[in-house]
A = this chain, B = another copy of it.
Amino acid sequence: MTTLQRIQPEKGCFFPPFKVDFTRSIPIHRQLYDWYQAAVADGRLRPGQRVPSTRSLAAELGVSRAPVLAAFEQLLAEGYFEAIIGAGTRISDTIPEMPAAPVADRSRSRPAKAGARSGSKFAAGLTAGNGPWWNNEGIFRANLPALDHFPARTWASLLSRHASRTTNSMMAYGDVMGHLPLREAIARYLGAARAVCCKASQIMIVSGSQHGLQITARALLDAGDQVWMEEPGYPGAHAAFAMAGARMAPVPVDQAGMKIEHGVAHFPEARLAYVTPSHHYPLGTGMSAARRMQLLSWAARRGAWIVEDDYDSEYRFGAHPMPALQGLDTDERVIYLGTFSKVMFPGIRLGYIIIPEDLIPSFRAVREATDIFAPPLAQAALADFIAEGHFSRHLRKMRTLYMRRRAALAEAMHRRVGDSFRIIGIDAGMHLTGFLPEQADDVHIANRAGAMGVSAIPLSTCYLAESSPGLILGYGNASETQIERGTALLAGVIEAAGGSR
């Protein structure tokens, strides 16, 4: 290096207002790199501007030349700096002028026009479920099973059986349809318990019923397609079908289930019907044989699909469970959804779709674009849990427990609130739904209850059109003590709101 070169580059450049922080664990070269990079990015240093020589900068900073060289090397390699032969180093000329904006003050640098910062219109149209009734800790939180009755030790030991295996099947990319032993166990179980008629090859493992709904909606519907939705119905299904751009057609539900004739008369163009025939969500009614036949007959005539969400049919008290619609379907029009959130626990994140054989390619393609496959470890443990009999034993115990809890909750609500909580639905499942008097504001009541630690879902949130007030109370995870305390609190809130007897 000649004297000229050592001196000249310092002209027209400046020493950065940068101090090495010797107390930080970040190496000096990295601190320097970060400073230059940020200064270029936020416009404090301009394209073409000279930078000091490594020698003079090292002297200025009071460090050895090595870290300065390392930082400059990286800045050159990545194109922040460029070396001009015989004239030192400068900020790359190819970097566009950036508007100067101090990094520390990001909020001020946002453009004034708010519209420019919004997500999709589509996302803005989705209603996020953020009421206090989703609080897991609240009494009567819907959809929660009796967590403290789950055989967690057995489960943990089945998990560890598979967790330490570094096999392709546990660690690599899994089958889009799911872990085969689990699909075989599910096919056997559903054939016996739900009269569902399927082969393991028709089962796709998903992360719970919401995931199953989302994939099903994308696989079957194009934007603008009309869908019959039970009214009232499951809000998660509204969201999933909205994601696919479907037009929702609310079809009223009575004691016998969805009023098929209403759907045929008012929404004849529908491509799909979403139903919960074994145990309607949220009303808790069962779909009658006549309605089932009407629905199957309509789907076959119209060439439409039926999505049967059998979310909690395993629990039916005092009667034989109603077999699945899927098993009655001679035209392969039914897509059957199940979940382990209620019979195992929600955190397991496993459910399944049973797909008519000729639709499997559509479902596979959507799944690959969505999240590819479900985690193999939980699937392998669950396959063992079913095959080794733990599952049916657990179901049997829970059936007795939930039957008792349901009776206790119904009795306590009747005793404390009387006719102001008109219980509907069959003796089944994990939730009890009741109508409140016509004038009651169920959202207000649920918010008040939420503040006291009671998670009651307002029935009105389950309607697409005109709603009736009511409350959905989950008893799966409610002990008898909690049932007493929760109903006492609820009775107080309902009375204060003017909705009591």
Contacts of A34 in B (CB 8 A): 195, 323
Inter-chain CA distance A371–B332, complex, in Å, is 26
Contacts of A106 in B (CB 8 A): 330-332
Contacts of A349 in B (CB 8 A): 371, 373-375
Q: Shortest distance in angstroms between A455's beta carbon and chain B's nearest beta carbon?
A: 11
From B206, B293, B364, B373, give the contact of A128 (CB < 8 A). B364
Q: Report if A16 contacts B (CB, 8 A).
A: no
From B94, B164, B362, give the contact of A290 (CB < 8 A). B94
Q: Are A33 and B98 in contact (CB under 8 A)?
A: no
Tally of contact residues, A, Cβ under 8 A = 139
Q: Are B331 and A110 in contact (CB under 8 A)?
A: yes
Instruction: Given A332-B110, A368-B128, decide whether A290 and B79 contact each other with a Cβ distance below 8 A.
Output: yes
Instruction: Given A160-B160, A289-B79, decide whether A122 and B330 contact each other with a Cβ distance below 8 A.
Output: no
Chain-B contact segment, one of A181-189, A213-221, A307-315, A488-496: A213-221
Instruction: Given A109-B330, A136-B168, A208-B371, decide whether A243 and B222 contact each other with a Cβ distance below 8 A.
Output: no
Q: Shortest distance in angstroms between A367's beta carbon and chain B's nearest beta carbon?
A: 9
Digitize A349-387: 1 where CB-to-B-CB distance is under 8 Å, 0 elsewhere: 100000010110111111011111111111000000000
Inter-chain CA distance A370–B366, complex, in Å, is 13
Inter-chain CA distance A123–B122, complex, in Å, is 19
Digitize A111-126: 1 where CB-to-B-CB distance is under 8 Å, 0 elsewhere: 1010011111111101
Contacts of A119 in B (CB 8 A): 219-220, 359, 361-363
Contacts of A242 in B (CB 8 A): 369
Q: Are B218 and A243 in contact (CB under 8 A)?
A: yes
Q: Report if A446 contacts B (CB, 8 A).
A: no
Chain-B contact segment, one of A2-10, A295-303, A414-422: A295-303
Q: Report if A404 contacts B (CB, 8 A).
A: no
Q: Are A163 and B171 in contact (CB under 8 A)?
A: no
Q: A128-165: which have CB < 8 Å to B?
A: 128-129, 134, 136-137, 141, 143-144, 147-148, 150, 152-153, 155-156, 159-160, 163-165
Q: Report if A268 contacts B (CB, 8 A).
A: no
Contacts of A117 in B (CB 8 A): 303, 356, 358-359
From B77, B94, B147, B375, give the contact of A378 (CB < 8 A). B375
Q: Are B296 and A41 in contact (CB under 8 A)?
A: yes
Q: Shortest distance in angstroms between A272's beta carbon and chain B's nearest beta carbon?
A: 10
- Closest 10 A-B residue pairs measured CB to CB? A119-B362, A116-B303, A239-B369, A79-B288, A94-B290, A156-B163, A156-B164, A211-B371, A123-B362, A79-B289
Chain A interface (Cβ < 8 Å from any Cβ of B): 26, 30, 33-34, 37-38, 40-42, 70, 74-75, 77-80, 92, 94-99, 101, 103, 106, 109-111, 113, 116-124, 126-129, 134, 136-137, 141, 143-144, 147-148, 150, 152-153, 155-156, 159-160, 163-168, 170-174, 192, 195, 206-208, 210-211, 214, 218-223, 225, 236, 239-240, 242-245, 256, 286, 288-294, 296-297, 300, 303, 319-320, 322-323, 328-332, 345-349, 356, 358-359, 361-366, 368-378, 477
